[in-house]
Amino acid sequence: MNTLLWGPGGLVAADFLQMFLHFALLSLLAIGGAITTAPDMQRFIVGHKGWLTDAQFTASIALAQAAPGPNVLFVAVIGWNVGGLAGVAATLAGSLLPSTTLALTATRWGARHKESRAIRAFTAGMAPLTLGLLLSTGWVLLEPTRTHWASAALVAVTLVIMLRTRLSPLWPVALGALVGALGGLG
């Protein structure tokens, strides 16, 4: 079997192209970072294609977010779990090439026109959009544990800590890890 044409799960070159194109489109919508497009990644990878289960998808993101390095690494882990090295190439190239090209072009143009009313309005309007995308990502990632009381409690405690204190976000992450290690969500 040719490993360049066939992936671990029987994926063919057309599947990798489709994955690349889907992630490329999402990269242009990733306002606030790649994580904001996780709900549609989940819809495509889990719901539409069935390449991963909900639990595998969530575990891919959790593993990548726990590792040191850029947050976009979750895209590589999802690609690896779907199609090995070819999956990593498809998801990372799809996620990075279009958005990087657009960001470089827009940054150069925006720097030349930073005082224009349109640029200031655009910048101000992006904050609520980013917040909404992050909230939808959190909702999708909570899916496997949404029925457990500890999930709702952790979300509430995290919100209070982040809104009312100046503590590092690492403390709620540590609290979630502790609850998970003690079996509170399983």
Residues 44-80: pLDDT tens digits?
999 999 999 999 999 999 888 888 888 889 999 999 9
Distance (Å, whole) CA 79 – CA 19: 9
pLDDT at 185: 58
Domain residues of the chain, as ranges? 13-126
Q: What's the rounded mean pLDDT across residues 96-119?
A: 90
Q: How much is the pLDDT for 64?
A: 86
9 pLDDT higher than 70: no
Higher pLDDT, 149 or 162: 162
Q: Please state, rounded to an integer, the average pLDDT across all residues of the chain.
A: 86
Residues of the chain by 3-state class (helix, strand, coil), percent to 5: 75, 0, 25
Distances (CA, A) of 19 to 72, 116, 155: 16, 38, 32
Q: Please give the residue that has the higher pLDDT: either 136 or 42.
A: 42
- The C-alpha R_g of the chain, in whole angstroms, comes to 18
Sequence-distant (≥ 6) Cβ neighbours of residue 49 within 8 angstroms: 15
Residue among 36, 11, 34 at smallest CA distance from 94? 34
pTM above threshold 0.85: no
How far apart, in Å, are the Cα atoms of 127 and each of 121, 124, 153? 11, 6, 26
